[in-house]
């Protein structure tokens, strides 16, 4: 799959009445599976005029690749997409008056349900700066997407913002995933503070979802360093407490360390802190800063090239590789890494 495909495209839409969430099906897949109905958007390669009765079925919409004026049907007709390959069979899209957005790609291994823009932290390098808005409509959209996701999907991310701010609604979402996608691992990105009290965690664990990986950022080996990054006093204690509560319940944990300037200055201490105090975690992911959002506006404070620190990084990784903890590197160009670290660069 072309990883550079955008997630949005403008389009012209004939018969548009209101926003829709639909699953894409190609003519080939319609013929081989017989699946159709108003939850589907039939994607055609060319002129629809030769299709006859197929177009009289109850489709949610059709996509035609040619810039044709086509008014023979009562449902929306989408045409003039910037990039026709933006969607394939099995993908899930939303249709608005000015185009489409892709919510799920069947052939991608990094699909995420984006559940809220709100967060109780305000991290100096957040790539998706939180907004204090009412966006609970996102959860309803996510429930619809879950129904459309391929049953063989291996991993599905849940991210925000901070998903646990949804409270009960996150519990409902996890339940829905368990019932509808029982073999799909959930990878839930959270700052972990909600789990410093055991009650909420216990409510989630009552669902008995068989496969959740909790992705939790840790920004230091001291409260000062971590809280400096989150801009919330006391967040280190709550996050660490949350991590211990998760571990006490046998949960799988991936710690995420974003390689800011001050974290690189302390990388060896942080890695040793994890080795000594959290040897139960499954994975430690070292993440290059994504130069967008707050990381862009706080560039001077946040950014550092990895090269001057590479010996410290390499040493810390080698140390951790002597333990059962898996180490990964994300978002760092291979040309910035010594060859021996290439095999852990994602
Ligand atoms: S990085 Fe995560 S925890 Fe920090 S503000 Fe952004 S969404 Fe919240």
> pLDDT of 188-227, one tens digit each?
999 999 999 999 999 999 999 999 999 999 999 999 999 9
Pick from 112, 120, 121 the residue to mutate for probing ligand 1's pocket: most ligand atoms within 8 Å of its CB.
121
* Dist. CA 75 → ligand 1 center (Å): 40
Give the CATH number, domain containing residue 332.
3.20.20.70
* Dist. CA 40 → ligand 1 center (Å): 35
Q: Return d(Cα 93, Cα 173) in angstroms, integer.
A: 19
* Dist. CA 148 → ligand 1 center (Å): 28
Residue 17 included in any domain: yes
DSSP character for 345?
B
Residue 34's alpha-carbon distances to 29, 31, 54, in angstroms, are: 8, 5, 11
Q: Which tokens sit at 74?
A: 């009562």
Same domain flag for 26 and 144: no
How big is the chain, counted in residues?
346
4-23 pLDDT, tens digit per residue, is: 789 999 999 999 999 999 99
pLDDT exceeds cutoff 60 at 2: no
Residue 32 included in any domain: yes
DSSP labels for 180-227? Answer: H-TTPEEEEE--SGGGGSHHHHHHHHTT--S-EEEEEE---SSHHHHH
How much of the chain, in percent, has pLDDT values that exceed 90?
A: 89
Same domain flag for 262 and 311: yes
* Dist. CA 101 → ligand 1 center (Å): 24
Residue 2 included in any domain: no
Protein residue whose Cα sits closest to atom 7 of ligand 1: 161
Residue 191 included in any domain: yes
Q: Which tokens sit at 53?
A: 């009765």
Dmax over CA atoms of the chain, in Å, equals: 68
Residue 158 included in any domain: yes
- SS3 call for 283: strand
Predicted pLDDT at 73: 86
Q: Return d(Cα 246, Cα 285) in angstroms, integer.
A: 18
Query: Mean pLDDT over all residues of the chain?
Result: 94
H-type helices in the chain, by residue range? 27-33, 137-148, 168-180, 198-205, 223-230, 235-248, 261-265, 267-277, 294-297, 299-302, 310-321
- Whether 94 and 61 have beta carbons less than 8 Å apart is answered as no
pLDDT exceeds cutoff 80 at 107: yes
Predicted pLDDT at 50: 74
Please state the atom number of ligand 1 nearest to the C-alpha of residue 119.
8
Same domain flag for 263 and 118: yes
Please state the atom number of ligand 1 nearest to the C-alpha of residue 258.
1
Q: Return d(Cα 243, Cα 293) in angstroms, integer.
A: 27
pLDDT exceeds cutoff 70 at 70: no
Average pLDDT over residues 311-326: 96
Give the CATH number, domain containing residue 50.
3.50.30.60
Residue 1 included in any domain: no
pTM, to two decimals = 0.94
Same domain flag for 43 and 155: no
Residue 257 included in any domain: yes
pLDDT higher at 65 or 131: 131
* Dist. CA 213 → ligand 1 center (Å): 18
Same domain flag for 99 and 149: no
pLDDT exceeds cutoff 80 at 272: yes
Query: Taking Cα atoms as reference points, which of 176, 137, 122 lies closest to residue 21?
Result: 137
Same domain flag for 91 and 129: no
Same domain flag for 287 and 313: yes
> How does residue 72 score in pLDDT terms, banded at 50, 70 and 90?
confident
pLDDT exceeds cutoff 60 at 31: yes
Please state the atom number of ligand 1 nearest to the C-alpha of residue 120.
8
Protein residue whose Cα sits closest to atom 6 of ligand 1: 126
Instruction: Kindly state the helix (H) or strand (E) to which residue 41 belongs, with its residue range.
Output: strand 40-43
DSSP labels for 222-250? Answer: SHHHHHHHHT-TTHHHHHHHHHHHHHHTT
- Whether 41 and 58 have beta carbons less than 8 Å apart is answered as no
**33-42, 71-80, 129-138, 314-323, range with the lowest pLDDT:** 71-80
Q: Which tokens sit at 324?
A: 């059962």
How much of the chain, in percent, has pLDDT values that exceed 70?
A: 97
Predicted pLDDT at 1: 52
* Dist. CA 121 → ligand 1 center (Å): 6
pLDDT exceeds cutoff 70 at 57: yes
Please state the atom number of ligand 1 nearest to the C-alpha of residue 161.
7
DSSP character for 49?
G
Query: Taking Cα atoms as reference points, which of 195, 204, 205, 266 lies closest to residue 237?
Result: 195
CB neighbours of residue 34 within 10 Å? 7
Residue 306 included in any domain: yes
Q: Which range of residues forms the domain containing residue 303? A: 112-344
Same domain flag for 323 and 286: yes
Same domain flag for 153 and 35: no
Q: Which tokens sit at 259?
A: 């390689």
Domain end, chosen from 85, 104, 123, is at: 104
Predicted pLDDT at 69: 57
Domain end, chosen from 104, 129, 152, is at: 104
Rg (CA), the chain: 23
Same domain flag for 236 and 171: yes
Predicted pLDDT at 32: 96
pLDDT exceeds cutoff 70 at 68: no
Please state the atom number of ligand 1 nearest to the C-alpha of residue 129.
6
Predicted pLDDT at 251: 98
Same domain flag for 206 and 86: no
Domain end, chosen from 72, 104, 136, is at: 104
Protein residue whose Cα sits closest to atom 1 of ligand 1: 126
Protein residue whose Cα sits closest to atom 4 of ligand 1: 123
Average pLDDT over residues 278-299: 95
Sheet containing 212-217: order of strands: 112-114, 155-159, 185-189, 212-217, 252-258, 283-287, 326-330
Query: Taking Cα atoms as reference points, which of 313, 311, 295 lies closest to residue 303?
Result: 295
Query: Peptide bond before 161: cis, by omega within 30 degrees of 0?
Result: yes
Same domain flag for 174 and 247: yes
Total tally of structural domains belonging to the chain: 2
Average pLDDT over residues 58-83: 84
> How does residue 3 score in pLDDT terms, banded at 50, 70 and 90?
low
Pocket of ligand 1 (CB under 6 A): 119, 121-123, 126, 128, 130, 160-162, 191
Predicted pLDDT at 263: 98
């Amino acid at each position: 799959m072309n990883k550079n495909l955008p997630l949005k495209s403008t389009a012209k839409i004939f018969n548009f009445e209101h926003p829709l969430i639909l699953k894409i099906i190609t003519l080939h897949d319609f013929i081989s599976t017989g699946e159709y109905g108003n939850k589907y958007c039939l994607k055609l390669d060319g002129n629809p005029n030769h299709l006859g009765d197929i177009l009289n079925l109850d489709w949610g919409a059709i996509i035609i690749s040619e810039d044709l004026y086509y008014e023979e049907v009562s449902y929306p007709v989408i045409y003039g997409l910037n990039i026709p390959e933006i969607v394939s069979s099995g993908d899930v899209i939303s249709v608005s008056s000015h185009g489409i957005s892709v919510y799920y790609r069947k052939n991608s291994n990094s699909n995420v349900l984006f559940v809220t823009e709100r967060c109780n932290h305000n991290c100096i390098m957040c790539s998706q700066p939180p907004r204090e808005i009412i966006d609970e409509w996102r959860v309803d959209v996510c429930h619809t997407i879950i129904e459309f996701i391929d049953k063989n999907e291996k991993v599905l991310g849940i991210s925000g913002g901070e998903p646990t701010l949804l409270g009960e609604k996150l519990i409902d979402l996890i339940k829905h995933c368990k019932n509808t996608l029982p073999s799909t691992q959930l990878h839930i990105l959270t700052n972990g503070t909600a789990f410093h009290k055991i009650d909420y965690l216990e409510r989630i664990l009552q669902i008995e979802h068989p496969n959740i990986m909790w992705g939790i950022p840790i920004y230091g080996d001291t409260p000062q360093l971590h809280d400096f990054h989150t801009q919330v006093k006391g967040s280190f204690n709550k996050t660490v407490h949350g991590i211990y509560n998760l571990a006490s319940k046998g949960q799988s944990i991936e710690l995420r360390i974003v390689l800011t300037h001050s974290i690189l200055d302390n990388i060896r201490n942080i890695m040793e802190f994890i080795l000594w105090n959290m040897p139960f975690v499954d994975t430690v992911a070292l993440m290059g800063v994504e130069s967008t959002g707050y990381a862009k506006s706080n560039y001077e404070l946040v950014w550092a090239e990895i090269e001057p620190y590479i010996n410290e990084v390499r040493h810390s990784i080698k140390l951790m590789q002597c333990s059962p903890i898996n180490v990964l590197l994300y978002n760092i160009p291979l040309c910035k890494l010594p060859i021996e670290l290439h095999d852990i660069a994602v």
